[in-house]
Amino acid sequence: MGRIRPFRVVAIAFAATLALAACGGNTGQPSQPAGSATGSQGGEALKVYGAYATPIEEPWDGVIHTALQAAEKDGEITYDYVDNIGYSGGMERTLRDIAQNEKPDVIFGDAFGNEAAVRAVAKDFPDVAFVFGSGEPEQAPNLSVFDNWIHDPAYLAGMLSGGVTKSNVLGVVGGYPVPEVNRIVNAYVAGAQSVNPQVQVKVTFLNSWFDPTKAKQAALAQVSQGADVLFAERAGVIEAAKEKGLVSIGSMADQKDQAPESVMTSILWDMRPTVEAVLDQVRNDKFEAANLKDYSFMKNGGSSLAPINTDVKGGIPQDLVTKVQEMEKKILSGEFTTPVDENTPKGSNELSS
Amino acid sequence: MTTLIALVGAALVSATPLLYATLGELVTERTGILNLGIEGTMYAGAFAGFLVAASTGSPWLGLLGAVVVGLLSGLLMGLLTVTFGVNQHVAGIGTTLLLIGLSEFVNRLKYGGGAVPQIAKFGLLFRDVPVAEQYLLTYIGFLVLAPVMWWVLRGSGFGLRVRAVGENPEAADAAGISVTRTRYAALLVGGALTAIGGAVLTLAILGSFTLNITAGRGWVSIALVIFARWRVWPAVFGALLFAGVDALQLQLAISSTFESVPRELLIALPYLVVVATLAISGRGVRYPGAYLRPYRRA
């Protein structure tokens, strides 16, 4: 045996610990004891788990998390979650662990990038309701799917943008050209062109969900090509609008506070109607696999346009606000159906002449 | 013409974080230490800068916070690779994972998974003057840091020691230069600069923090150091080239003239250009003599 080098042993152990510590997922805080939950329904609070591939700071999973937190606050459920599970095998392990050892009534989460794992585990635990964000169909008997169908408010935001632009050029910065992003962007373009046939919409995709610096840079490139209204499908864009003194549209949360002089409105997604529908089904033993997308529609309260902020730089004409609000009523009443187009939008969109 | 001016302006902005991180890595690697903790250091610098600025209201204090975190990360790398002589790849990747995990953990503790605030950030100088409209940190990076770094490495006693230790630590040691002290010093300076590079993102460009804020810029800087063959001015050029082509592809992607070019190709363009340049000019790259080698007195 060679000379023992205590320092080296310590150092290697230390490095290994670092690597392990950094790889572990974050486990959520334990939920409040079930006893404190006195549901309005009078029944026992349902046991719900969240299983998220990304950290809950990511807006998409954050919306699910927020809705479940609200349901817990109202005493309907007890809620616990695991986030930052990732895309390399962790999802299947985590779901099996939760289903087997915690025996929850419902597991919510997102299956994008983990489709096979979620479907396999759902099959093995038919008594647990699985409700996952997915672009694929539901899986009988116990996997329901949902998605962020927020094209309605996107259309309205497009109308607002098309109405205020002076240069007739709008800019949109999105993550990836995938169907759920495409239909938001296409609805925005359609809304803008419905009030302003001359309008041209520049669309950039970052090929990343998270690169705000690049998003800002992409938005500034659009500004240099004439854009004077920016739709921030991704974080970072509002900062560009702020710096250039332009108006913008927020996304996923009401982002008015970030730049009250710039953010005209935001398109919002609310998972609470979807959550309520599932809880109702489970409480009444009527849960079955379904596509829950309709619960994200505006007419069902699943998406909305944040209050229009007319205090932005340059203001918003009252007749435009009225026009948008009238269309909002038409969508809510079912009189108008926002067109759904999931094709990848071009970099530069004009009405074909 | 306006597009060209916008291009140059945009390239300078997005080259700034790369410039700090690349020069920080460059001085470290010249002593023979490959610091793969760079991505984590940038991340932690971005977060620390944001956190301090958010709680004090001052971007300057935020910058100071980032520097402190950068020094600490350099110290950690020094402890692992210089004092303990751990494999530099493992130590660096471990440091990156630790610092990103730690930043996200503190972020969770502080903001509970919810929205983070906007901070008072550094403003632009020379508003509405094309190209000159830049952040102070951009001016400092290109006009102060780069020439000073060039001079330090070339003409100062410290630079001589750095190069001697990186090329031949045995000879440097025999000549009375402390290998340990020189490597620690380079790691501390490099760590601080790298952290400033990260802080540029939160304190100047965005005024906020989000997950994955660095988005691989640290790894790009590692490539730029090799691209520059461990020399300062080529590193400055490399950062500008990468940022410039990236700015260009963002312009092309939204112009109707280039509509038929696949989007994926445009996104890959900056990487392709750097790889191509490397392939043409980068033959016979000579690494610092003591690259990746821990030093022990025989």
Q: Are residues A30 and A125 in the same domain?
A: yes
Tokens read off for B192? 């601080």
* Residue A56 sits at the chain B interface (C-beta within 8 Å): yes
Say if the Cβ atoms of A347 and B95 lie within 8 Å. no
* Residue A296 sits at the chain B interface (C-beta within 8 Å): no
The pLDDT-based confidence of A348 (bands split at 50, 70, 90) is: confident
Residue A320, domain member (yes or no):
yes
Q: Are residues A139 and A173 in the same domain?
A: no
Residue A4, domain member (yes or no):
no
Q: Are residues A312 and A181 in the same domain?
A: yes
Taking all residues of chain B, what is their mean pLDDT, rounded to a whole number?
93
pLDDT above 60 (res A11):
no
Judging contacts by C-beta atoms under 8 Å, the chain B residues touching residue A350 are 256
Q: Are residues A215 and A330 in the same domain?
A: yes
Q: Are residues A34 and A182 in the same domain?
A: no
- Overall average pLDDT of the A306-311 stretch: 96
The pLDDT-based confidence of A13 (bands split at 50, 70, 90) is: low
Task: Write the ipTM.
Answer: 0.92
Q: Which site among B75, B254, B265, B267 would you substitute to test the A interface, given the most A Cβ atoms closer than 10 Å to its Cβ?
A: B254
Low-confidence ranges of chain B (pLDDT < 70): 1
CATH of the domain at A68: 3.40.50.2300
Which segments within A215-296 are labelled E, that is strand?
Answer: 229-232, 247-252, 263-269
* Residue B233 sits at the chain A interface (C-beta within 8 Å): no
Q: Which site among A64, A173, A213, A244 would you substitute to test the B interface, given the most B Cβ atoms closer than 10 Å to its Cβ?
A: A213
* Residue A55 sits at the chain B interface (C-beta within 8 Å): yes
Q: Which site among B250, B251, B255 would you substitute to test the A interface, given the most A Cβ atoms closer than 10 Å to its Cβ?
A: B250
pLDDT at res. B236:
97
Please tell me the least confidently modeled range out of A52-61, A137-146, A240-249. Answer: A52-61
Please check whether the domain covering B2-281 is classified as CATH 1.10.287.130.
no
Residue A264, domain member (yes or no):
yes
Q: Are residues A36 and A76 in the same domain?
A: yes
pLDDT above 50 (res A2):
no
Partner residue opposite A253 with nearest CB, options B95, B115, B254: B115
pLDDT at res. B16:
98
Judging contacts by C-beta atoms under 8 Å, the chain A residues touching residue B84 are 7-8, 10-11
The pLDDT-based confidence of A28 (bands split at 50, 70, 90) is: very low
Judging contacts by C-beta atoms under 8 Å, the chain A residues touching residue B258 are 347
Q: For residue B19, what is the DSSP state? A: H
Residue of B nearest to A236 (CA): B206
Say if the Cβ atoms of A217 and B250 lie within 8 Å. yes
Report how far residue A143's alpha carbon sits from residue A131's, in angstroms, rounded to the nearest whole number: 6
Residue A17, domain member (yes or no):
no
* Residue A221 sits at the chain B interface (C-beta within 8 Å): yes
Contact A94, A106 (CB under 8 A): no
- Choice between A348 and A287, residue whose per-residue pLDDT is larger: A287
pLDDT above 60 (res A222):
yes
* Residue A169 sits at the chain B interface (C-beta within 8 Å): no
Q: Minimal CA–CA distance to B180: which of B79, B82, B250?
A: B82
Give backbone dihedrals phi and psi of A61, rounded to 5 degrees, phi first. Answer: -70, -30
Q: For residue B131, what is the DSSP state? A: T
Q: Are residues A245 and A170 in the same domain?
A: yes
| Chain A, chain B: beta-carbon pairs less than 8 Å apart | 151
Judging contacts by C-beta atoms under 8 Å, the chain B residues touching residue A243 are 124
Contact A172, A203 (CB under 8 A): yes
Judging contacts by C-beta atoms under 8 Å, the chain A residues touching residue B101 are 21-24
Residue A240, domain member (yes or no):
yes
Q: Are residues A107 and A245 in the same domain?
A: no
Please tell me the least confidently modeled range out of A34-48, A137-151, B4-18, B188-202. Answer: A34-48
Question: Residue B264: how many CB atoms within 10 A of its CB?
Answer: 11
A96, A120, A146 — which closes off a domain?
Answer: A146
Taking all residues of chain A, what is their mean pLDDT, rounded to a whole number?
88
pLDDT at res. A38:
40
Helix or strand run (H / E) with residue A153: helix A151-164
- How much is the pTM? 0.89
* Residue B57 CB partners (closer than 8 Å, separation 6+): B119, B120
Residue of A nearest to B213 (CA): A211
**Domain limits at A155?**
151-269+303-349
HEC string of B139-152 equals: HHHHHHHHHHHHHH
Judging contacts by C-beta atoms under 8 Å, the chain A residues touching residue B211 are 54-55, 57-58, 210
pLDDT in tens, B261-294: 888 888 899 889 888 888 887 777 888 999 999 9
Helix or strand run (H / E) with residue A160: helix A151-164
Q: Minimal CA–CA distance to A182: which of A150, A208, A157?
A: A150
Count Cα atoms within 13 angstroms, Cβ side, for A209. Answer: 13
As a 3-state breakdown, chain A gives helix, strand, coil percent values, each rounded to 5, of: 40, 20, 40
A146, A172, A203 — which closes off a domain?
Answer: A146
Q: Which residues of B48-57 are buried (b: 16+ CB within 10 A; e: fewer)?
A: bbbbbbbeee
pLDDT at res. A14:
54
Measured over the CA atoms of residue B52, residue B59, residue A241 and residue B197, the dihedral's sign is negative
Quickly list DSSP for A53-99.
SS-TTSHHHHHHHHHHHHHHHTTSEEEEEEE---SSSHHHHHHHHII
A81, A112, A146 — which closes off a domain?
Answer: A146
pLDDT above 80 (res A27):
no
Q: How many domains is chain A built from?
A: 2
Q: Are residues A130 and A230 in the same domain?
A: no
Q: Are residues A138 and A157 in the same domain?
A: no
pLDDT at res. B281:
73
Q: Are residues A33 and A116 in the same domain?
A: yes
Say if the Cβ atoms of A220 and B104 lie within 8 Å. no
Residue A49, domain member (yes or no):
yes
Q: Minimal CA–CA distance to A269: which of A237, A239, A293?
A: A293
pLDDT at res. A15:
54
Residue A313, domain member (yes or no):
yes
The pLDDT-based confidence of A22 (bands split at 50, 70, 90) is: very low
Q: Are residues A123 and A219 in the same domain?
A: no
pLDDT at res. B4:
84
Write out residues 98-127 of A within 8 Å (CB-CB) of B: none
Residue A288, domain member (yes or no):
no
